[in-house]
Chains A and B, each alone.
Chain A
């Protein structure tokens, strides 16, 4: 398996522009997570899906952020409009079951810089 795939790997944009991050989870995994990581705040969970349904979006910082999962093999995280404080590494992770032994598998991340 190719693992979790994220695109783009790097994104540089200007303040006010729309940014769309993409994720393809590991085939067969029924949980998908979006995280943001910064030096100051560490790894923060933004939202997660189970069977394509958003379960908990309490980590989404504000209305400028939205996430969708139209099918089991694709998810997007959109920021509109983007701001410099959104600069971070955004990780997507997937997991098979919520059993206690089950871990998450992380994608390579998207490094976002908003100027």
Chain B
């Protein structure tokens, strides 16, 4: 079992819709969780992080964490074609970062 698992997709949503990206992790000792966006041919860039149960909002992005279920999600409201990318979920266990394999998102104009 991988430390961090994501549905590889591809996920397609129409422009203006809500995109929902999901991630599960296996190490209950994981302290914090990060969402990165990676455009094709580019390096990952941080979107947001979360370490407390509940929701954290930043503009059109909302991260959700449920430690009991070991589940992290990222919601993108009012999706734009520029949001089309691969989204990587990562967990910080305090000793190491573990990345999921990423979910490919396509926003259709």
Contacts and interface: CB of A to CB of B under 8 A. Distances in A.
A101 B51 contact: yes
B1 interface: no
B62 interface: no
Contacts of B46: 103-105
The 3 closest A-B CB pairs, nearest first, are: A42-B101, A100-B32, A106-B43
A65 to B, nearest CB: 18
Interface residues of A, number: 20
B101 A43 contact: yes
Nearest to A92: B43
Interface residues of B, number: 21
Interface of B: 31-32, 34, 42-46, 49, 51, 88, 92, 94-102
Contact of B44 (A43, A98, A100): A43
A107 interface: yes
Interface in A47-68: 48, 56
A29 to B, nearest CB: 14
Contacts of A48: 96
A45 interface: yes
A91 interface: yes
B43 A108 contact: yes
A45 B94 CA distance: 15
A103 B46 CA distance: 8
A23 to B, nearest CB: 12
A100 B51 contact: yes
Contacts of B99: 35, 42-43, 45
Interface string A70-94: 0000000000000000000001000
Nearest to B51: A100
9 contacts: A42-B100, A43-B88, A43-B99, A56-B95, A98-B95, A100-B31, A103-B34, A103-B49, A106-B44
